[in-house]
Amino acid sequence: MSAQPNPNLATQGTPGRIVRRPWPAPGVWLKYVFLTVGAVIMLVPFADMVLGSLRTIPERLAHPPVYWPHDPQWRNFGRVFRDLPMLRWIGNSIIVTTAVTGVQLVTSAMAGYALAKFKFKGRDLMLRCVLGAQMFPFFLFLIPMFFILRFWPLAGGNGLTGQGGTGLLNNYLALILPFAVSWYGIFMMRQFMVSIPDELLDAARVDGAGEFRIFFTIALPLAKTALATLGIFVFIYQWNEVIWSMTVTRIAPRLQTVPVGIYLIRGAFIDERTLSLQQASLAVSVVPVLVLFLMLQRYYVRGVTAGGVKG
């Protein structure tokens, strides 16, 4: 395509002239119309949330309520940090999410490496267990996990028998340990590690390198992209995790994460006067992840390609 289409022609040219540069075939622009409509549907809820956070109380109480805020209440975003323990929630989210991501990367890489690069008794069985474990829905673990953490021996004032204290329940570990291993993560890392050539590892062995050195200096660096991808997966998933965190931190408010905090304090948003604040806090909970995702989305897309489909 040589010349740029003249915008004037397209908008105000006479019909006779346009014949020479006709509209592209419907298939060409129709798909952009389709994608744009879809994109609007994806984005409008976010816009609605931000608009909602900017409304004044009289606008909410008007009959009918005013949709477009005329006097945007940007200070609601300040109130999110002043009137709600938002900073603590964000701090907790960061601690828990980072820890889970780190631990899961380590456990997944180690297990994936062993399952991919070693022949040993029980390997196939273990691989099948890893795959099978993914079939167990999380709700099955909600109730018993609570008890296991509560009666964890020698923690939180507990004795050897798990009595006497609170176990791990009053502790960040309650939010971290149940997510220390991801079966999906192991499988994904295993699929990746399989493609590392054995010759590379054997050559290092011949050179006298120890197995752990081989793992850390050869296998891990080669798996950097896969690790980055898994890391983003885990981070986003964990940041948005609600059910388990809510079940545990209901009784330990100082451990609440952002979405859990906002949900459990819903009783404070009972009337029209506080709904703008609620929507502002929702916006605050959403934005950091969206920014992170948009910055790293390249890895994410690549990761789905690498780990999603196993033929």
Partner 1 sequence: MIHLDRRTSMKRLVDGIVRALVVVGALTATGASAQGITLTIATHYTDEQRGPLTGCLREYERLNPGTAIVHRQLSYRDFLQTLFMSRMSGKPPDIYNLSTAWTAQLVESGALAVPPAAVTDFVVGNYLANTSETMTANGHVWGIPAEVDVYMLIYNKILFARAGIAKPPTNADEFVKDAASISKSNRQGQLTTAGFGFGPSPDQVVAPFLTLLNSNGGSLFSPDRKSTNLTSATARDALETEVRLFTTKGTSRGAAPNQFSSGSLGMMIVPNWYQKQLHQELGEHFDETVGVAPIPGGMNWRTVQYGFFWAVDATSQHPAEAWALLKWLNTARTPGGRSCVGDMLLDLGALTGNKDDLAASAADIGNPFMRPFVDALSSGRALPEVSIPHANEIKDLLSNYTERALLGMLSPEQALSEADNGIRLILRESE
Partner 2 sequence: MTKRQAIPYVFLTPVMLFGVVFFVLPIGFAFYLTFTNFQAFVPHRGVGLLNYKYLLARDPFFFQTMRNTAVFALGSLALEIPIALIVAYTISKSRFRAFWRSIYWLPMATNVVAIAFVWKFLLDGPTGLLNRILDVFGLPGPGWLTDPKFAMLSVILVFVWMTLGSNMLLLSAGMEGIDESSYEAARMDGANTFHILTRVAIPLLKPTLLFVMTTDLIVCLSSFPLMLVLTEGGPAQTTTVTALYMYQMAFANLRLGRASAAAFILFLLILAVTMLQLRLFRRGGIDAY
Q: Which residues bind partner 1 (CB under 8 A)?
A: 57, 60-65, 83, 146, 150, 155-157, 164-173, 205, 208-213, 250-253, 264-268, 270-273
In angstroms, the CA 38 to CA 297 distance is 19
- For 13, the 3-state DSSP assignment is coil
Nearest distance from C-beta of residue 12 to partner 2, angstroms: 26
Min CB(187)–partner 1 separation in Å: 23
Its sign, for the CA torsion 115, 116, 122, 128, is positive
Taking CB under 8 A as the criterion, the residue among 22, 27, 197, 208 binding partner 2 is 27
**Using CB under 8 A as the criterion, what x/- string covers residues 250-289 for binding partner 2?**
--------xxx-xx--------------xx--xx-xx--x
CA distance 240 to 226: 21
In the complex with partner 1, the residue whose CB is nearer, 51 or 66, is 66
The dihedral sign for the CA sequence 62, 64, 70, 71: positive
Amino acid identity of 74? Answer: W
Q: Is 178 in the site for partner 2 (CB under 8 A)?
A: yes
- The number of C-alpha atoms within 13 Å of 48 and in the hemisphere containing its C-beta is 6
Write b or e for each residue in 16-55: b if 16 or more Cβ atoms lie within 10 A of its Cβ, otherwise e.
Answer: eeeeeeeeeeeeeeeeeeeeeeeeeeeeeeeeeebbbbbb
- Footprint on residues 39-58 left by partner 2 (CB under 8 A): 39, 41-46, 48-49, 52
Query: Which of positions 193-252 make contact with partner 2 (CB under 8 A)?
Result: 211, 215, 236, 239-240, 242-243, 247
Yes or no: say if 307 and 227 are a contact pair by the CB < 8 Å rule: no
Query: Pick from partner 1, partner 2, none: which does 35 bind, CB < 5 to 8 A by kind?
Result: partner 2
Q: Which of residues 64-123 bind partner 2 (CB under 8 A)?
A: 64-65, 67, 106-107, 110-111, 113-115, 118, 120, 123
Q: Which is nearer to partner 2, 186 or 223 (CB)?
A: 186
Q: CA Rg, the chain, in Å?
A: 27
83 binds, among partner 2, partner 1, none (CB under 5 to 8 A by kind): partner 1
Contact pattern for partner 2 over residues 122 through 161, marking x by CB under 8 A: -x--x--x-x-x-xxxxxxxxxxx-xx-------------
* Cα atoms found within 13 Å of the Cα of residue 124, Cβ hemisphere only: 0
